[in-house]
Amino acid sequence: MQVTREIFDQVMVPNYAPSKVIPVRGEGSRVWDQQDNEYIDFAGGIAVTCLGHCHPALVKALQEQSEKIWHLSNVMTNEPALRLAKKLTDATFADQVYYANSGAEANEAALKLARRWALDNHGEQKSQIISFNKGFHGRTFFTVTVGGQAAYSDGFGPKPGDIVHAEYNNLDSLRELISDKTCAVMMEPLQGEGGIIPPTKEFAEGVRELCDQHNALLIFDEVQTGVGRTGHLYAYMGLGVTPDILTTAKALGGGFPIGAMLTTKAVGDHLKVGTHGSTYGGNPLACAVAEAAFDTVNQAEVLEGVKARYQRYVDGLHAINEKYSVFSEVRGQGLLLGCALNEQYKGRARDFLMASMEENLMVLVAGADVVRFAPSLVITEQDIDEGLQRFERAVAKVVAG
């Protein structure tokens, strides 16, 4: 069967609008389509392929595990899942791990755990969850309601209750909402879908203090920022603020679907046998690949390399902006970067994405006003420079109209 883009329109639910380009193979930060056209990947599958495409360590782990055992239900455990959990807890604040298939499911588990912890310790009245406008926490009905973007949660009937939203980077806004009835505050330590917005140190510290004052849990959604993306293994480490629960996915598997929730024993013990579960959570194939990805990323050389690549990107993007004056600012941390469009180009982020594809460069958007980059953490300097040249040509096209 010859696979074409038209088949998507025939057989797929139309909730996506994929590009006409169909990639068929990749290596490092280069991707080739059905016609063997080559693209440079600055998108990383939306911050997922943290080591690029077909990284040898991940390929080796997958091949070796595929000849051992593929799946076990959670009636039993398995070696890759336990090895990975030990490494995650050794490297972070956490004592315990719960596995899921995606970031949304890890966040669903975190929110259910917070509610169960509050019920067990404080009673039914302590159920409020506070998150932040422009936040994004997944597409399950619970997580999409907690996410602060009504466009994603409206239109599906009555929403889960006792969820309110504060303004990001505005402690007064949070202070007005939080009370002893709040069971948890959920936040991204760098807003991704909301526009690549970093928190101030004072804000992050203030959120932690308010949670402590009201005996509420602090949940960090590190689905996009985790596993080296900001130049720290997890972004909380750069903020100096420790959450009670942390969620991780995307880069955790380097492209193989896996998510995890990390927490302390005092909190995690409230997910007793039977309170939550996942058929594929802790899958041996997924955990074996994730262990290889984690081992590769969690090295000083790789994490320091992210910071060096950040500077190369920022310098290049500023140079482009000096010529074309399209961005109001370049923001972000590590290799999660956003070019915020200025007043003249607001609402046209997709135009820059489409022009980039025409120049054989894959980029992302974060809303209508921000062009987003989330490349491999080990992308070569040559690919950064060549990709930025292609992006400059794309910018020139948009400016020329």
CATH number of the domain to which 273 belongs: 3.40.640.10
Q: Is 166 annotated as a binding residue?
A: no
% of the chain at pLDDT higher than 70: 100
Q: Is the pLDDT of residue 319 over 90?
A: yes
What pLDDT is stored for residue 394 in this prediction? 98
For residue 160 the two structure tokens come to 């889960």
What pLDDT is stored for residue 401 in this prediction? 86
Query: Where do we find the tokens 């303004």?
Result: 167
Catalytic residue among 221, 244, 369, 383: 221
Residue 384: burial class (beta carbons within 10 Å; 0-12, 13-18, 19+) = buried
Cα–Cα dist 58/252, whole Å: 11
Task: Assess whether 151 and 281 both reside in one domain.
Answer: yes
Q: Is 275 annotated as a binding residue?
A: no
- In degrees, rounded to 5, the angle at the alpha carbon of residue 142 between the alpha carbons of residues 138 and 146 is 70
Task: Assess whether 269 and 319 both reside in one domain.
Answer: no
Instruction: Give strand pairing partners of 339.
Output: 330, 371
Task: Assess whether 71 and 149 both reside in one domain.
Answer: yes
The mean pLDDT value for 317-338 works out to 97
**Which of 297, 324, 344 corresponds to the end of one domain?**
297
Task: Assess whether 38 and 75 both reside in one domain.
Answer: no
Non-local CB neighbours of 235 within 8 Å, separated by 6+ positions: 189, 190, 220, 222, 225, 226, 229, 333
Task: Assess whether 32 and 107 both reside in one domain.
Answer: no
Taking only the tens place, the pLDDT of each residue in 101-146 is 999 999 999 999 999 999 999 999 999 999 999 999 999 999 999 9
Q: Is 104 annotated as a binding residue?
A: yes
What pLDDT is stored for residue 81 in this prediction? 98
Task: Assess whether 89 and 159 both reside in one domain.
Answer: yes
Are the CB atoms for 192 and 136 separated by under 8 Å? Answer: yes
Catalytic site residue 221? Answer: yes
Cα–Cα dist 269/377, whole Å: 34
Q: Is 103 annotated as a binding residue?
A: yes
Catalytic residue among 42, 132, 136, 373: 136
Cα–Cα dist 212/189, whole Å: 18
Task: Assess whether 329 and 260 both reside in one domain.
Answer: no
Phi, psi of 131, rounded to the nearest 5 degrees: -135, -165
Query: Where do we find the tokens 């970093």?
Result: 198
What pLDDT is stored for residue 346 in this prediction? 96
Residue 42's domain comprises 5-55+300-400
DSSP H or E stretch at residue 78? none
Task: Assess whether 27 and 125 both reside in one domain.
Answer: no
Task: Assess whether 10 and 132 both reside in one domain.
Answer: no
What pLDDT is stored for residue 148 in this prediction? 85
Are the CB atoms for 104 and 137 separated by under 8 Å? Answer: yes
Taking only the tens place, the pLDDT of each residue in 358-393 is 999 999 999 999 999 999 999 999 999 999 999 999
Catalytic residue among 250, 352, 369, 383: 250
Q: Is 224 annotated as a binding residue?
A: yes
The mean pLDDT value for 307-321 works out to 98
The mean pLDDT value for 170-198 works out to 97
Non-local CB neighbours of 398 within 8 Å, separated by 6+ positions: 326, 345, 348, 351, 352, 355
Instruction: Give strand pairing partners of 279.
Output: none
Tell me the average pLDDT of the chain.
Answer: 97
What pLDDT is stored for residue 25 in this prediction? 98
pTM of the model: 0.96
* Number of helical H runs and strand E runs in the chain: 15, 15
Q: Is the pLDDT of residue 238 over 90?
A: yes
Report the domain count for the chain: 2
Task: Assess whether 15 and 115 both reside in one domain.
Answer: no
Cα–Cα dist 359/355, whole Å: 6
**Which of 280, 297, 314 corresponds to the end of one domain?**
297
Q: Is 286 annotated as a binding residue?
A: no
Task: Assess whether 132 and 104 both reside in one domain.
Answer: yes
Taking only the tens place, the pLDDT of each residue in 68-85 is 999 999 999 999 999 999
Q: What is the domain-level CATH number for residue 49? A: 3.90.1150.10
What pLDDT is stored for residue 375 in this prediction? 98
Catalytic site residue 373? Answer: no
Q: Is 141 annotated as a binding residue?
A: no
**Which of 270, 297, 324 corresponds to the end of one domain?**
297
Non-local CB neighbours of 150 within 8 Å, separated by 6+ positions: none
Q: Is 155 annotated as a binding residue?
A: no
Task: Assess whether 222 and 338 both reside in one domain.
Answer: no
